[in-house]
Structure formats: C-alpha cells, structure tokens
Structure 1
Amino acid sequence: MNNGIYINGKYVESKKTYPLHNPHTEQIIAHIADSTEEEMQLAIEAAHTAFQKTKTLTSLERAEILFQAADILEAEKEEVANLITTEASKPISASRLEVERSIQTLRFSAEEAKRITGEYIPLDAAKGGAGRDAFTIHEPIGVVGAITPFNFPLNLTVHKVGPAIAAGNTIVIKPSEQTPLSSFKLAEIITRAGAPTGTINVVPGDGPKLGKVLLDDARVEKISFTGSPTVGKLIKQQADLKKVTLELGSNSALYVDETVAEDLPSIVQKAVIGAFAYNGQVCISTQRIYVHQALAPQFIQMFVEVTKKLPYGEPTDPSTVVTSLINKKSQARILEWIEEAIQNGATLLTGGEAKDNGILPTVLTNVATAAKVSCNEVFGPVVFINVVENAEEAVSEMNNSDYGLNAGIFTNNLKQALQLGHQLEVGQVFINDVPTTRFDHMPYGGYKSSGYGYEGVKYAIKEMTKMKMISLNYQ
C-alpha cells in the first residue's frame, strides 16, 4: 500500500516508514510514513495555500463536494469497511455500520453547509444606535489541524473533515499511528469529489512530534482532537490563541430503576451491546451500571447469561462481536485493572481472561469506587454492575467521576427521569437508552475531563468559523 504522506491531492514519498500490523493476525499490512516535522510543515503550507480557494467557494459548491464524497463512499462502502477491519481489528459488522454512519455524516455536513447563518442585531435598541442595520456572518477560520483516534478511524475523522469543508476551511489530519489507512482513503474520496487541491492532507506518524508542529504553526487556526484527557489538557495549555475542540472520553454510567421490570430482557440486551460493542473500545462504552436493589438479582443473572453468549472470533466473521484489542499493551493494562478490582473486593462474574490478542467479555460486581475499572476509562470489554438502594444513591455514584460525557437511565417514572436528567453531570443524558448512543447530527461534548467544545456537524461548524458583525448606517 501507499507509504507516503497525502499532500496536494497526491502521495509524496516519505524518508522513513514504520510497519503497520493487523492487530488480530499481527501480519504486516502496510509500511506507513513516519513523517518528519518538515513534512508536516509542507502539509500545512499546502492547506494554507488551498484556503485562498476554499474560502471563496459558495455554500452550494461546498455542499456539492460533500454530497459527491458521500456518494463515492457509498459506492465503495464494502471496500472501506474491509479496510477498517484490517487496520483496526474491528468486527466487520461494526465496520460496515461505521461506514454507513460516515456516509450520513458527510450528508449532514453537506446540508449544514447551506445553513451557516447569522442574525440581525437591532442597534437602535441602544441610545445613539438609531438608523443602523447590523447583522452577523460566519467566515471560515482557515487551516484546521485534526488529530484522530484508532477506534472510529473513518467516522471520527469525517466528523472533523465534513464540518471543516462545509465551513470553507482546509484540513491537515494526523491520524492514529495504528489506523492511517482510513484517513488516506477519505482524503482520496474528498479529492475525487472535487475539492480544491490541498483541501485535505494526511500526515501519519508520531503524535507528540507532529502534534507539536500543528500547535506551534501560526497558520493553523484550529485544533480538533479526539483522545486521552492527559494529551487533551496539554494541547489546551499549548494552543495559545488557537481555537480547540477536545473530545476526551469517559467511563459512561447507566442506571436501571425499579419501574422497568417488564422491560428487563430488552434493557439487558441493549446494555450488553453497549458494554461490549467493538470490545468496549468506544468513548461512550457502557462501563458502570447501577441497578436498583429490587431488580438487581434478575438483572445481573440475565446480563451474565447474555454476555456469555457473545460471539468472540475473527473480525472478518459477520457474527463476531468481540475480538482482538488494538494492541497487546492495552490487553495487559486491562487485565491488570481487572485483577486490581478483584484484589480490592470485586467479584468476577464472567470473563476476566485473555484470549488470543483480546479479552473475553468481563462482568464484575461490588466494585469499589477507587478501582481503576471504575474511576478511569477502561477502553476494553469490561463492565461492572453495582447495586443501589434508590435513585439518589445512583446519581451520587454516577457523578462521582472525573468524566462527564454520556449517561443513560432506564425508568418509567417521568418525574424521576427529568430530575435525573438535570442532576447528572454529563453533556448528554439518554432516557430509556444506554449511554453508548450517538447520532451524528446531535451536539456531542462533555463535562469535566471528558472534553472542551462540541462536535456534531452543526455545532462543529460553528466552532470552525469566525463570527463578524457588519453595521450599515443609513441615516
């Protein structure tokens, strides 16, 4: 496969490469550019030059590029799904869903390109303001630097690329070292869809080294990052006056109250998928479950039974739900965290052991708040179920976290649903849904260490523009 960097609509050979391995088979699937700081600067220059063109595109022209890109991706969706499965070891069923969502995200971006509107400001509301009309417009910000993760290598990249192009910007992508192929494919598609040369550029390689170039270069006006809180906080500290959007993960919590006994089988099915889809390597994976004591014995028994039936296997098998983790380092860390929880009083109900390069779906109970599987983001196939006496205790436990991205509640008590919706310290609350829920056009951002700023197409576009007010004195 191509081993260069993608600049100005073509691949440029890099001086140095690194081998890219399939996480499941450990076979080398490509040799990827280990880009230098100078090569990142070339990409920024290309994007900066292209911005002189993209900022003049009409909203219709930007929308047409994105609609065309969506059509190309739809025509090639099986090829792209297989690419994701190969580089990320994502089960093929999940990869196909990711591609479908990416198509939808591109189309949402195209639609929103036509809706970037301002507002009328009545200046005559102020003394001395009579005889003036004023209005606001949103202008493209310039070069966007995107740093993307491995777990949704296409759709989370599209969530940065689509809004950037819709707003009239250009973009430089620094993809995860493990999953650059999806970004390359997206760049090819955007170019084929008619974007001006240099609109989208991909520079793979070492994150800290290349990320620093994006942060230090004054031509980059905006950083959009998805990754760990540790790195996100460093980016915010070093970004100077650049705009930043940081999506930093979570340890999402779910509460199941005493009013949903009749719906328990359906709720359990949703919660199991929410916990173990793509091996739990999802920012909003259901990691902490709190169940009212009246339903806890039933819920736990059913949850374990369903979990034990989850197919573990080859990522290319359409029936597979759980497979190899992204790397052995993650596997070792998660196993250590499981053991730590058990040593501190937790009970292992199922799983908790390695299989191939993955971990069998793991369910714990009686987990201490201070355990790493509770207070940190596991990013693996691990969930715990703790029993609570009432909703007040559930909210207290759910909010006892440094994170605050998504939370879920299952209840048939409308008053309680609304009370918890207001009390939970998270960016998104899902009532009668698991927290592992995201629709690509909704606002998406977290409280506390879960993030800064918002994604979701419409909301990301606003964060990739500059607002200007224009006043006309007609007297």
Structure 2
Amino acid sequence: MLQTQYPYYLANKAVQANNDLDVTDKYTGEVATQVAMADAATIDQAIAAAVDATEAMAKFPPYERQNVLNHCVKRFEERFEEMAMALCIEAGKPIKDARGEVSRLIDTFKIAAEEAVRIGGEVLNLEIAPRAKGYQGMYKRVPIGPCSFISPFNFPLNLAAHKVAPAIAAGCPFVLKPASRTPIGALMIGEILAETNLPIGAFSILPCHRDGADLFTVDDRFKLLSFTGSPDVGWDLKARAGKKPVVLELGGNAACIVDHDTDLDDAVERIIFGSFYQSGQSCIGVQRIMIHSSLYDEFKQRFVKATKALVMGDPKDETTFIGPMISESEARRLDSWVQEASAQGATILCGGQRDGAMLEATVLENVPSDCNINTKEAFGPVVVLSVFDEFDQALAAVNDSDFGLQAGIFTRDIYKAYKAWDTLDVGGVVIGDVPSWRVDNMPYGGVKDSGVGREGIRYAIEDMTEIRLMVLRTPQ
C-alpha cells in the first residue's frame, strides 16, 4: 500500500512542505495519498542548487556514478512489489503491466550503470592537407550541465528513469517534474537516490503548481530540456525554451501491417497485447491495423474473439487486462471519437461501452480516413482495422499520418522488411512484432509530430554531453 503522504525532494533532501496534491486510486476514484507540491520559489531554489552542483557532478568519478546507479538497482529489486502496487494504484495500471514496468525500471538503471564507465572520446587524424602537418586532435564528452526533465503519467517509473539514469551516468544535475496525476513512482526513485552520496544539489524531484512550472521550460540556467508527453504541449515548450537543446518524445497512432504470409496465431496474440496492454495508454500502442485482403476475414474473426475475452476490472486483480483510463475525462474523450466514427459509418465490432473511466476494449472497421480515431492519437483501448491488397499500399497508409514513432510489420519476406525500413517515415520499424515492443538500450523516438531526439541510455547520454575538442600541434 501507499504511504499516507509523500515529500518532494529538494537538493537531495525530502521536504514535507505541505500535503497539497491529492493522488487518487484511478480505479476507485478515492484519494490514496497526499503529496507535497512545490511553488515557484522552491523550483528556483532547486535550479540554483543544480547550478551549484554542476562542477561537483562533472568531477564525480564514473565509478561513483556507477555505484549510485547499482545501489538504485538493488533497492528497486528489494522494493519490487511495493513499487508495482504503487503503479497499480496511482496509474490504474493492471498489476501484471505494473510489474513489467518495474522490471524495465531495473533494466534502465542497469544499462545506465554500464554506460557510466564507457563515456569516451576519439583521437582524430587532422593531417588531411600540408597545412595540417604536425597537428593531431582528440575529443572527450563533458556533461552539458543542469537538465530540466518533465515526465508523463503513463509510465511514472520508467519514463522518469529514462531521464534520471542517463543524467547520473553523464554527470548532469537535474530537476524533474513528474506528472501530477502519477507522481509517486518518481518520488520513490527520489527516496532511493537520497540514500546515495550524490553531490548536494544533484537532483530535485518536484511535483508543482502551474505558477512555477514555466521555470522548467524558460529558465536559461537549464542547459537541456527533455519532455515526454502530448504533442501540443511538447511543441509549445520547444518554442519557448530559448537557446537550450530540447528532446521531445511525444505521441503516435502506431500502425501494424499484417501481410499475406503471416502466422495468424502469432500475429493475433502479439497484436492483442500491443493494442490493449495497460489499457492502450502507450504512445506506441497499436492503433491502426492493416491486414492483407486474403487474411482479413479470418484475422478479424480471431482478433474480435480474443478482444472480447480480455478481462476488464480492478487493476489489482491478477486476471485483469483492461483497467481504467487515467481519468474519466480521457475516457469520455476517446468514447466520443468512437461514437463520432460510428455516426460516420464505421462498424463497432466489439466494445464501445464506457462506465466512468472504464472503456471497453473496442475494435472498429470501415472508419472514414478523416475521423479523429484515425488521424489523432487514441491513447486508450481502441483499434481500427482496415484491408489492403498491395504491400506498397499499406506502407503508404502507414505514412499517411502526422505521427511517426514506430511501426510493426508482420511479414516473412526479407525484401519487404527492408522496403518497410527504407520507406516508412518513422523512428523505428519492428519486423515480426508490434510497434509497442521496446527494450531500454535501443534508440527510441520519432519524427514528424512524434518528436525530436532519441531516448535509450547511450543516446540520451549523447544529448546530455557535449564534445570538447583538443588540438595538439607538434612544431616541425
């Protein structure tokens, strides 16, 4: 169970300044715990502390950074079930999905611990012309400085970890703003970081009021902003961030292609998972499924049957697959998109009913191309089936989107796999599986409205470090 109250973390220290933020159990709607909220003055203090810690963090030896990250891994493992249940309560995440996220949290910190002692450079041959005779170069990577992090509600542990862990590995102090709906996971990370010997000011984790949140974006003392969340908010933050680099991991309406040579048993099993895990609230959750005409009727029959068999209910129940959406307003929004599509001629093959924040796993077909459920990010348990005859037609349909995060291709034809990789305007192409598949060391991110930059520990470390060149002249 959750504690009755949680502090924020200011310059490595727990501060129970107030109990202003009520965090609800997303299934019952009842207040589960209360969290301290930071105001603008506190955020300013945190930024100042991060600036003061910049030199100490840069000098903090790689093996010490590794020790901190390994300590976190050990403590996450010890508190595994506690952290999973916290996710289940604050995010409404089915308990099996919650355990999966804690496992990924551990993976992310393990990878960061390994990378902390691998950050190197290169010796350069500069003698490319007579005028450069006797010159050689070398570069190293140095921490960029204080970082501003804003994490989302749907992966309160692991998407925060994808900012926090590489920052520690790189030697960057940071201030993290977790989502107000789901701050507990990040605060648990803070509790464990506070047990370590990180330099004072190395981290602050601050749920905050709107009056101070702007500092995470506009304050020039930050040297990097990394945001994960909705496209509208992300692009607005980038426009206001000033000179600092900005990394955005935003949304998607991920597509899956099921070609004529696909093993349907395998495809249905994987696409059910990719469509409805954690109630569809994932930016790489399957939203659009394109099936070859020779398989369409059989795929539809199997897929609808499997969808109807999913258990919806209390996320604390081990058998539950579909839990609540993050709020009733989000469930109403997505339900209205389903009803809009239906009114314009789409067929609801199963689901389509809502009770508060609970929305049934829903499958649609014959959806007009301009409906919201096709063009926008559903971020919930709704998928759209469509049919194709030619593989190129399906590739074009995947690209007919404002988003470009990941795509899944079920085919046994290696030439089609390479063609998809060459053709699709997305950040990642997953062959033989759903676009929802991710491990935490791969480069992950999107193009178009899905964002800019890449996560994955090594790639995040590149964003959080700068190249510093030295040129050495040997007199001739």
How high is the TM-score relative to the length of structure 2?
Answer: 0.97
Asked if structure 1 preserves the Cα contact closer than 8 Å seen for 2:329 and 2:357, the reply is no
SS at match of 1:19: strand
* Equivalent residue for 2:229, pick from 227, 230, 248: 227
- Using a 3 Å threshold, how does the CA distance of structure 1 residues 271 and 339 change in structure 2: closer, same or farther? same
**In the alignment, does 2:394 pair up with 1:394?**
yes
- Deviation, 1:3, is 4.6
SS at match of 1:470: strand
* Equivalent residue for 2:239, pick from 237, 240, 246: 237
- Deviation, 1:356, is 4.7
1:256 aligned partner: 258
Report the AA paired with residue 272 of structure 1.
I
Distance 2:400 2:211 in 1: 35
- Deviation, 1:471, is 1.1
**In the alignment, does 2:185 pair up with 1:200?**
no
- Deviation, 1:230, is 0.7
SS at match of 2:182: coil
1:213 aligned partner: 215
SS at match of 2:197: coil
Q: Which runs of 5 or more residues in structure 2 are unaligned? A: none
Paired residues for 1:257-406 under 5 Å: 257-260=259-262, 263-406=263-406
Number of matched residues?
472
Alpha-carbon displacement from aligned partner over 1:110-143 (angstroms, at most 9, x marks no partner)? 1111111211211111342111221111100111
Distance 1:204 1:147 in 2: 10
- Deviation, 1:292, is 0.5
* Equivalent residue for 2:139, pick from 136, 139, 142: 136
Distance 2:423 2:304 in 1: 30
Distance 1:37 1:126 in 2: 55
SS at match of 1:201: strand
Alpha-carbon displacement from aligned partner over 1:71-111 (angstroms, at most 9, x marks no partner)? 11111111111111111111111111100110010010011
Report the AA paired with residue 200 of structure 1.
F
Report the AA paired with residue 39 of structure 2.
T
Asked if structure 2 preserves the Cα contact closer than 8 Å seen for 1:72 and 1:193, the reply is no
1:125 aligned partner: 128
Asked if structure 2 preserves the Cα contact closer than 8 Å seen for 1:311 and 1:320, the reply is yes
Distance 2:391 2:217 in 1: 44
Paired residues for 1:104-123 under 5 Å: 104-123=107-126
1:170 aligned partner: 173
Asked if structure 2 preserves the Cα contact closer than 8 Å seen for 1:16 and 1:35, the reply is no
Report the AA paired with residue 426 of structure 2.
V
2:103 aligned partner: 100
- Deviation, 1:39, is 1.3
Distance 1:2 1:466 in 2: 39
2:186 aligned partner: 183
**In the alignment, does 2:438 pair up with 1:438?**
yes
How high is the TM-score relative to the length of structure 1?
Answer: 0.97
SS at match of 1:352: coil
Distance 1:16 1:105 in 2: 31
The worse-fitting range, judged by mean Cα deviation, of 128-137 and 92-101 is 128-137
* Equivalent residue for 2:71, pick from 65, 68, 71: 68
The worse-fitting range, judged by mean Cα deviation, of 316-325 and 149-158 is 316-325
Distance 2:357 2:18 in 1: 32
Distance 2:98 2:157 in 1: 9
Report the AA paired with residue 157 of structure 1.
A
Paired residues for 1:77-88 under 5 Å: 77-88=80-91
Report the AA paired with residue 32 of structure 1.
V
Asked if structure 2 preserves the Cα contact closer than 8 Å seen for 1:270 and 1:434, the reply is yes
Report the AA paired with residue 64 of structure 2.
E
Asked if structure 1 preserves the Cα contact closer than 8 Å seen for 2:331 and 2:356, the reply is no
SS at match of 1:128: helix
Report the AA paired with residue 449 of structure 2.
S
Q: Which runs of 5 or more residues in structure 1 are unaligned? A: none
Distance 2:134 2:293 in 1: 67
* Equivalent residue for 1:35, pick from 21, 38, 41: 38
